[in-house]
């Protein structure tokens, strides 16, 4: 059974690594005119790298964190749900990465100083993305939860719903808004910026006797 699922996962993953057309219906200026299609060509690995780069730039105080770490967090959850039979096809694709970025952009603070805290926030955003965009009715909490206290996880979920419910609905209905978020994410496709480990500076006082 696991071998069959693993083979299915490999086939789906190979397809996702190719260029994918993300299509949205744009509202025409003339209401009588038919909606025009907005086609954005992007690859899943490319957008995942952009997301990882964004997280690392935003959390510049966090030492020893690379964009590949963020990619591994998302890929790990997606792979786990596939192997356990909770989903038939991979969730990580260009449109879902844009959705996750939209949530992370609002929820990940610059003041974060630990990789663990960043991962907790990113996985919460990923869980909310599955809840809004996933094909299944529900998903298990375990792959998204790495902290012992569930209250903190659900508290973040409530904050996301309070602050971003409107945008989560809008991004699925408004092609121009989706395109705007997509372009913001693509802006992080440049070379990786390596930040030195963050440390607080202290002023030394020398007394002269």
pLDDT at 162: 96
Annotated domain spans of the chain? 44-187
pLDDT at 204: 31
pLDDT at 93: 95
**Rg (the chain; Cα; Å):** 20
> Where do runs of H (alpha helix) occur along the chain?
2-17, 44-58, 67-83, 94-107, 115-133, 150-173, 175-186
The CATH superfamily holding the domain 44-187 is Cyclin-like (1.10.472.10)
Each residue's pLDDT tens digit, 145-204: 999 889 999 999 999 999 999 999 999 999 999 999 999 999 998 665 554 444 333 333
pLDDT at 3: 45
pLDDT at 138: 86
Low-confidence stretches of the chain (pLDDT beneath 70): 1-40, 190-209
pLDDT at 40: 63
Is 0.85 topped by the overall pTM? no
pLDDT at 2: 41
Check residue 85 and give left, alpha or beta (phi > 0: left; psi -120 to 50: alpha). left
pLDDT at 18: 43
């Amino acid at each position: 059974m696991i071998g069959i699922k693993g083979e299915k996962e490999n086939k789906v993953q190979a397809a996702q690594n190719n260029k994918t057309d993300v299509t949205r219906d744009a509202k025409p200026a003339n209401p009588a005119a038919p909606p025009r299609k907005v086609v954005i060509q992007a690859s899943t690995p490319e957008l995942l790298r952009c997301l990882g780069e964004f997280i690392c730039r935003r959390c510049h105080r966090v030492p020893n964190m690379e964009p590949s770490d963020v990619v591994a967090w998302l890929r790990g959850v997606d792979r786990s749900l596939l192997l356990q039979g909770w989903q038939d096809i991979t969730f990580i694709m260009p449109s879902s990465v844009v959705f996750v970025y939209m949530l992370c952009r609002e929820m990940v603070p610059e003041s974060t100083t630990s990789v663990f805290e960043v991962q907790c926030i990113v996985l919460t955003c990923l869980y909310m993305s599955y809840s809004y965009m996933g094909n299944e009715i529900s998903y298990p909490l375990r792959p998204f939860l790495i902290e012992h206290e569930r209250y903190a996880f659900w508290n973040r979920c409530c904050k996301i719903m309070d602050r971003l419910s409107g945008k989560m609905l809008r991004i699925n209905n408004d092609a121009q808004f989706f395109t705007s978020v997509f372009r913001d994410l693509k802006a992080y496709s440049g070379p990786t910026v390596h930040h030195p480990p963050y440390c607080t500076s202290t002023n030394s006082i020398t007394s002269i006797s």
